[in-house]
Structure 1
Amino acid sequence: MFINKFKDKRVYLPFIILIVSIAAFVVMKNLKQPAEEKVADQIAPLVKVESIRFEPMQLAVSSQGVVTPKFKTQLVAQISGEISFIAPEFVRGGFVKQGQILARINDSDYQAYVIEAQAALLSAQAGLEQEQALGAVAKDEWRRIKDRKPTALSLREPQLAQEQARVRAAEAALARAKSNLERTIIRAPFHALIETRQVSLGSYVNPGNAIGDVLSVSEAEVRLPVADNQIKFLINEGVGSKVTLRGELQGQETTWDAKIIRTEGVIDSQSRMAYLVAQLVNPYGLQVPRAGDEKLDQKTEHPLRFGSYVRASVEGISIPHAALVPRHIIVDGKVPTLTAENTLLFKTVTSIREQGTMVVVVDGVADQDQLIVSALQYPVEGMLLRLPVESKSTTEKPDENNSTEELDNEEALAKKSD
Structure 2
Amino acid sequence: MKVIKPKFIAPVLVLAISAIAGGLLIITAPEAERRVPPPVIPTVEVMPLRAQDHMVTLASRGTVSPRTKSTLIAEVAGRVTGVSPDFRPGGFFEAGDVLLTLDARDYENTVTMMRSELAQTRLALEEERARVEQARVDWKRFGESGSPSGLVLRKPQLASKQAAVNAAMAKLRQAELELERTRVTAPYAGRILEKSVDIGQYVTPGALLASLYAIDYVEVRLPLADEQIAFVDLPETYRGASRPERGGAVPPGEGRGDMPESPPEPATGPPVTVSARIGGKDYQWTGNVVRVEGSIDIQTRQSFVVARIDDPYAPRGGRPPLKVGTFVKAEIQGRVLTGIFVIPMVAVHSGDRVWLVDENEKLEQRQVEVLWRNAGQVIIGEGLDEGELLVLTPLPYGISGTTVRFASEGGGEDSEPQ
| TM-score normalised by L of structure 2 | 0.77
Q: Which structure has the larger Rg?
A: 1
Give runs of aligned pairs for residues 379-394 of structure 1, distance below 5 A.
Answer: 379-388=398-407
Matched, 1:163 2:192: no
Distance in 1 between residues matched to 2:218 and 2:156, nearest whole Å: 60
SS at match of 1:178: helix
Matched, 1:309 2:307: no
Instruction: Identify the range of structure 1 (188-197 vs 364-373) with the bigger mean alpha-carbon deviation.
Output: 364-373
Alignment gaps of 5+ in structure 2: 1-24, 237-267, 410-417
Give runs of aligned pairs for residues 215-364 of structure 1, distance below 5 A.
Answer: 215-236=213-234, 240-285=269-314, 301-327=319-345, 329-364=348-383
Q: Give how far 1:376 is off.
A: 1.9
Cross-structure match for 1:146: 143
- CA RMSD for the aligned pairs? 2.8
Distance in 1 between residues matched to 2:118 and 2:178, nearest whole Å: 17
Cross-structure match for 2:239: none
SS at match of 2:209: strand
Give runs of aligned pairs for residues 55-66 of structure 1, distance below 5 A.
Answer: 55-66=52-63
Question: 1:87-138 deviations in whole A, cap 9, x for unaligned?
Answer: 1111101111111111111111111111111111111111111111111111
Cross-structure match for 2:80: 83
* 8 A contact 1:285–1:300 mirrored in 2: no
| TM-score normalised by L of structure 1 | 0.77
Aligned length: 353
Q: Give how far 1:33 is off.
A: 10
Q: What one-letter code is carried by the residue in structure 1 that aligns with 2:336?
A: S
Cross-structure match for 2:65: 68
- Counting aligned pairs with the same residue, the percent is 30
Q: What one-letter code is carried by the residue in structure 2 that aligns with 1:83?
A: V
Question: 1:55-106 deviations in whole A, cap 9, x for unaligned?
Answer: 2111122221111111111110000111111111111011111111111111
Given candidates 63, 77, 97, the residue that maps to 1:100 is: 97
Q: Give how far 1:315 is off.
A: 1.4
* 8 A contact 1:117–1:173 mirrored in 2: yes
Distance in 1 between residues matched to 2:66 and 2:150, nearest whole Å: 63
Question: 1:140-173 deviations in whole A, cap 9, x for unaligned?
Answer: 1011233466432332212111111111111011
Q: What one-letter code is carried by the residue in structure 2 that aligns with 1:285?
A: A
Distance in 1 between residues matched to 2:269 and 2:407, nearest whole Å: 49
Distance in 2 between residues matched to 1:182 and 1:173, nearest whole Å: 14
Q: What one-letter code is carried by the residue in structure 1 that aligns with 2:139?
A: W
Greater helix fraction, Structure 1 or Structure 2: 1
* Change over 3 Å in CA distance of 1:171–1:186 after alignment to 2: same
Distance in 1 between residues matched to 2:398 and 2:305, nearest whole Å: 45
* 8 A contact 1:285–1:299 mirrored in 2: no
Cross-structure match for 2:261: none
* 8 A contact 1:51–1:369 mirrored in 2: yes
Q: What one-letter code is carried by the residue in structure 2 that aligns with 1:371?
A: L
Runs of 4+ aligned residues of structure 1 deviating over 6 Å after TM superposition are 32-37
Alignment gaps of 5+ in structure 1: 1-24, 287-297, 391-403, 405-418
Q: What one-letter code is carried by the residue in structure 2 that aligns with 1:306?
A: V
Distance in 2 between residues matched to 1:73 and 1:120, nearest whole Å: 38
Cross-structure match for 1:193: 191
Cross-structure match for 1:134: 131
Q: What one-letter code is carried by the residue in structure 2 that aligns with 1:358?
A: Q
Distance in 1 between residues matched to 2:144 and 2:52, nearest whole Å: 107
Question: 1:362-406 deviations in whole A, cap 9, x for unaligned?
Answer: 23223453322332232111113344458xxxxxxxxxxxxx9xx
SS at match of 1:271: coil
Instruction: Identify the range of structure 1 (211-220 vs 263-272) with the bigger mean alpha-carbon deviation.
Output: 263-272
* 8 A contact 2:48–2:388 mirrored in 1: yes
Distance in 2 between residues matched to 1:237 and 1:74, nearest whole Å: 31
SS at match of 1:375: coil
SS at match of 2:325: coil
Q: Give how far 1:341 is off.
A: 4.2
Question: 1:302-341 deviations in whole A, cap 9, x for unaligned?
Answer: 3211111111111111112122234452333321123354
SS at match of 1:141: helix
SS at match of 1:58: strand
SS at match of 2:44: coil
* 8 A contact 1:244–1:258 mirrored in 2: yes
Cross-structure match for 2:252: none
Matched, 1:365 2:384: yes
Distance in 2 between residues matched to 1:307 and 1:51, nearest whole Å: 47
Distance in 2 between residues matched to 1:377 and 1:76, nearest whole Å: 69
Q: Give how far 1:45 is off.
A: 2.8
* 8 A contact 1:231–1:237 mirrored in 2: no
Question: 1:270-323 deviations in whole A, cap 9, x for unaligned?
Answer: 32111111111111116xxxxxxxxxxx88633211111111111111112122
* Change over 3 Å in CA distance of 1:261–1:161 after alignment to 2: same
Distance in 2 between residues matched to 1:44 and 1:280, nearest whole Å: 57
Distance in 2 between residues matched to 1:160 and 1:67, nearest whole Å: 63
* 8 A contact 1:258–1:280 mirrored in 2: yes
Distance in 2 between residues matched to 1:180 and 1:361, nearest whole Å: 69
Give runs of aligned pairs for residues 16-27 of structure 1, distance below 5 A.
Answer: none
